[in-house]
Amino acid sequence: MEKINILILGLGGNVSQGILKAVKMSNLNCRIFGACVNSSSAGLYFCDSAYISPYAHSHDFMPWLIDLCNKEHIDIVLTGVEEIILKIAENLEEFHNKTDALFICSEYKKLLIGQNKYKTCVWLKENELSFPKFALAKNKKSVEQLVHEVGFPLIAKPVKGKGSVGVIQIHTKAELERILEQKEYIIQEYLGNEDSEYTIGCYRNKSGKILNPIIMHRKLKYGTTFEAEIIENQSIKNEAIKICERFEPIGPLNIQMRLDKNNKPICFELNVRFSGTTPIRAYFGFNDVAALIKEYVLKEEINDDFYIRKGIAFRYMNEIYLDKDLPKKLEAEGSLKNIKNYQISVDKTGGSV
């Protein structure tokens, strides 16, 4: 079988780095091309070839991407960077008309729902699914009603925020008044506690079947998962499948939930893409990256549920070592071919926590 040429964009981010790991965990015969805006992105040096890319918002991005896909005969483009996903989705017809490469994503309007916490809550409510009670900070009447219904604490989040950046717990009216000055915020009821958070990986195949979801009980640090345990929970699974059935993603959908005081699972976030925990999921049997490639590139039918093993994962920091001139060379030339020919090594002593 000929090698599959895969281009992974945004390798400075943990989601794209996780996609790279999931590809390497699969049994697929791949040649991996990586790209990022910065030559200091460690993920680039785990690829077969690396490129410096324009930013997604640049007018140069789509012409650059189309040219690279044609030059390297790319079969499929993958990324975990939401700005890149939106940019390609906006130009999907042009991309598919001008290259033989694939880019698989959900409908543009669904991407916008997932990238806006207010739209997510509205969509959940309209589809009669679990959702946290909410109000936009700029709508003081709705905020007053929210306080009347659920009291304190509350949680405030940027409408288009990422991770835990800008997320604030609110315990008093004085704290709430300060948040109300931030117009692009959503205020929500505070669900459960930090020990009641779950991330659920879902995958909907070409024929519309939702494969067996993977449920992870997780602990967060700086907005990302640093400890995750694979668990079984029927109520969480049922709610995740119900969400996936109504949302109808193309390929992956990552769902964030918390259990409320009555142990009812409440969805508070939808990531319409691969997840930051993609490599953990792949290790335990839920490799949705490999499934997507098999379905859309190799034209294989993916109808069997993922076989998911139980286990626990801890994240830690690690190092990659390379010649000091290598990033300069990549920056200057715009690309590095046959990276395996350069002296690159990874710390295998366990890293530093």
What are the φ/ψ torsions at residue 271 (nearest 5 degrees)? Answer: -105, 110
| pLDDT confidence of residue 350 | 61
CATH class of the structural domain 193-314: alpha beta
Per-residue model confidence (pLDDT) at position 222:
75
pLDDT per 10-residue tile (average), the chain, 353 residues? 92 96 96 97 97 98 98 98 98 98 98 97 98 94 95 95 83 90 89 93 97 95 88 98 98 97 96 96 98 97 94 94 94 95 84 44
CATH number of 133-189: 3.30.1490.20
- CA-CA-CA-CA torsion for 231, 232, 234, 237, nearest 10 degrees? 60
Q: Taking the model in full, what pTM does it have?
A: 0.95
Cα(66)–Cα(47) distance, rounded to whole angstroms? 20
- Its sign, for the CA torsion 24, 28, 33, 37, is negative
Fold of 4-103+319-346: Rossmann fold (3.40.50)
Residue 335 token pair: 């690309």
| Distance of alpha carbon 98 from alpha carbon 20, whole angstroms | 25
Helix pair angle (82-90, 61-71), 10° resolution: 80
Task: Decide if 227 contacts 315 (C-beta within 8 A).
Answer: yes
Q: Could you tell me the residue ranges of all domains in the chain? A: 4-103+319-346, 133-189, 193-314
The pLDDT of residue 352: 43
pLDDT for 293 equals 98
State both tokens at 49: 């070839």
